[in-house]
Amino acid sequence: MTNGEHMNDKAQIREVVENWVLFRDAGDWARFASVWHDDGWMTATWFQGTAEGFIEASRAGFEAGVRILHFLGGHTSEVAGDRAVAQTKMKIQQRGSIGGVPVDVTCTGRFYDFFERRDGRWAVVRRQPIYEHDRLDVVTPGDTVTLDAGALARFPEGYRHLAHLQESSGHDVMPGLPGLQGPEVDLLYREGRSWLLGSATAGTPLAATSSA
Span 73-109, pLDDT tens digits: 999 999 999 999 999 999 999 999 999 999 999 999 9
Q: With 50 as the cut, is the pLDDT of residue 209 above it?
A: no
Q: Quick check: 211 pLDDT over 90?
A: no
Residue 198 lies in a domain: no
What is the per-residue pLDDT across 112-167, written as a single tens digit (0 to 9) for each? 999 999 999 999 999 999 999 999 999 999 999 999 899 899 999 999 999 999 99
If one counts every other C-beta atom within 10 angstroms of the C-beta of residue 141, the result is 6
Q: What average pLDDT does this structure show over 12-31?
A: 98
Domain-located, residue 155: yes
Amino acid identity of residue 145, one-letter, is: V
Q: What is the DSSP letter of 90?
A: E
- Cα atoms found within 13 Å of the Cα of residue 44, Cβ hemisphere only: 18
Range of the domain at 120: 3-192
Residue 44 lies in a domain: yes
Residue 196 has pLDDT above 60, yes or no: yes
Could you tell me if residue 12 is inside a domain?
Answer: yes
**Which CATH number does the domain housing residue 103 bear?**
3.10.450.50
Higher pLDDT, 58 or 209: 58
Give mean pLDDT, residues 57-67.
95
Within the chain, residue ranges assigned H as helices are: 3-26, 29-33, 51-63, 149-153, 160-168, 183-196
pLDDT of residue 57: 96
Q: How many domains does the chain have?
A: 1
Give the mean pLDDT of 23-41: 98
105 CB-contact burial (10 Å; exposed 0-12 / middle 13-18 / buried 19+)? buried
